[in-house]
Amino acid sequence: MNSWDETENHGSPDPVYADAGSGSPDVREPLFSEQEYAHRLHRVREKMAHQGLSALIVTDPANLFYLTGYDAWSFYVPQMLFVPAEGDILLFLREMDARGAFRTSWLPEHQIIGYPERYVQRPHLHPFDWVAFALRRRGQIAPSAHGCVGLEMDAHFFSPKGYRALVNAIPEWSLVDCFELVNWVRSVKSDAEIHYMHVASRVTTAAMTAAIDAIEPGVPQNRVAARIAAAQAEGDGEAWGDFPAIVPMLPTGASADTPHLTWSDRVLRSGDAVVVELSGVHRRYHVPLARTVTLGPPSDAMDRLEEAVADGLRAVLDATAAGVPIRELASAWNWKLASYGLEKPSRLGYSVGIGYPPDWGERTISIRSEDETVLEENMTFHLICGMWMTGYGYEVSETIRVTSTGVETFTSFPRQIIRK
């Protein structure tokens, strides 16, 4: 941690970490090569130039992780990565978090700066008041002669108060929305990222297997959740599990008509259909999967849904390959569903990869007719065929990778209704 400004820093950071040198189990090897991190930053700066940005303010924890490797449950307080068009990028964290950031980030010490504890959760202060002044002291507030400064205007942990702090403290800057700039760079994965998703898929398979084993009449939902959560962390013995950005969802019975209710102690009974939506995670990379389990034979309506959705999903997978416009996937799905007299008003899927609560989606590409993206190799999506009908619901999903000639799925779980 850098204590460049003694008058502003509170407490005296101690740079001596006795037992934490390289080779210590408490300092993690960077997940990706130096070249890969450099390439990511290069692609971000290319996009910045293209969007006329002289600097970028990054706050989304998934984007911080992507660019710096920094990984901790500290995003409930403000954090910021400052990315100038050239020169050092600077990571601003709460002081107690900045101390240990070197354990997960590749950034050298002088690029990690802790803001004082007294700015945390105070009514008329915001950490970005301090950060803005710190940037000014470092000569980073050149009037934006060469462009605007980009902000992640719709990131989950960038509040209006943090935004106003920057507006007030740095009147020289012309602030504009960067429109999920880093998220868009993330949409095409490197081979190393695909590797981590393959490891995650083994955790997914372990967790879905645990779910299906646990679902029985007489068992409360929270016990099923317990088995899933254990498998999500344990993994399959070799592939270990990281925490998921979304807890396991178990819409059951009539409440399966809405997708996002979390578990309770509601007891499963014969005749119930239980939707399971979960993700295996490895080093923040997610591979989500959904299946539907019925206790007893499925209703006729459910049987028809199964057939229609299987047909629709097959049509989408057949249509998928690099070079294909996203809207053609939406169209393949909608046509097939229409032939069964069905429609799905919500999107069919979204770009997926690194995730922190509350979402494993990347907030960029959605598979729907309004989306204008063209598929590229190594884009990854969660195709979620969720049909939330009146009084019941059915889901089946796949996480896919777009290849040059088609598509691969990360898991190979049977797609049928699981009849128990």
**Least distance (Å) between residue 405 CB and its own copies:** 29
The residue among 295 and 317 lying less far from its own copies, judged by its C-beta, is 295
The residue among 188 and 267 lying less far from its own copies, judged by its C-beta, is 267
Name the helix (H) or strand (E) containing 360.
strand 359-366
Torsion sign over Cα 94, 98, 104, 110? positive
**How far apart (Å, rounded) are the C-alpha atoms in residues 382 and 397?**
7
- Could you count the other beta carbons within 10 Å of the beta carbon of residue 270? 11
Structure tokens at 178: 């960067």
Q: Which of residues 283-342 bind its own copies (CB under 8 A)?
A: none
Binding-site size, its own copies (CB under 8 A):
102
Q: Which of residues 218-277 bind its own copies (CB under 8 A)?
A: 220, 222-223, 225-227, 229-235, 240-243, 246-247, 249, 252-255, 257-267, 269
The residue among 55 and 247 lying less far from its own copies, judged by its C-beta, is 247
Q: Which of residues 129-188 bind its own copies (CB under 8 A)?
A: 151, 153-164, 177, 179-180
Distance of CA 20 to the CA centre of its chain: 29
**How far apart (Å, rounded) are the C-alpha atoms in residues 118 and 129?**
12
Site string for its own copies, 355-394 (x = CB under 8 A): -xxxx-x-xx-x---x-----------------x-xx---
**Least distance (Å) between residue 97 CB and its own copies:** 6
Name the helix (H) or strand (E) containing 355.
strand 349-356
**Least distance (Å) between residue 156 CB and its own copies:** 6
**Least distance (Å) between residue 251 CB and its own copies:** 9
**Least distance (Å) between residue 154 CB and its own copies:** 4
Torsion sign over Cα 239, 244, 247, 250? negative
The residue among 276 and 317 lying less far from its own copies, judged by its C-beta, is 276
**How far apart (Å, rounded) are the C-alpha atoms in residues 286 and 239?**
13
**How far apart (Å, rounded) are the C-alpha atoms in residues 248 and 215?**
13
* Residue of 23, 123, 139, 414 that binds its own copies (CB under 8 A): 123
**How far apart (Å, rounded) are the C-alpha atoms in residues 306 and 275?**
13
**Least distance (Å) between residue 408 CB and its own copies:** 25
The residue among 21 and 139 lying less far from its own copies, judged by its C-beta, is 21
The residue among 235 and 288 lying less far from its own copies, judged by its C-beta, is 235
Contact at 8 Å (CB) between 383 and 367?
A: yes
Amino acid occupying residue 204: T
Site string for its own copies, 1-30 (x = CB under 8 A): ---------xx--x-xxxxx---xxxxx--
Say whether 58 sits in a helix, a strand or coil: strand
Sheet holding 148-151, edge to edge: 112-115, 90-94, 80-84, 53-58, 148-151, 175-177
* Residue of 58, 66, 83, 95 that binds its own copies (CB under 8 A): 95
Say whether 242 sits in a helix, a strand or coil: coil
Site string for its own copies, 71-90 (x = CB under 8 A): xxxxxx--------------
Strands 112-115 and 273-282: unpaired
**Least distance (Å) between residue 199 CB and its own copies:** 11
**Least distance (Å) between residue 9 CB and its own copies:** 10
The residue among 277 and 317 lying less far from its own copies, judged by its C-beta, is 277
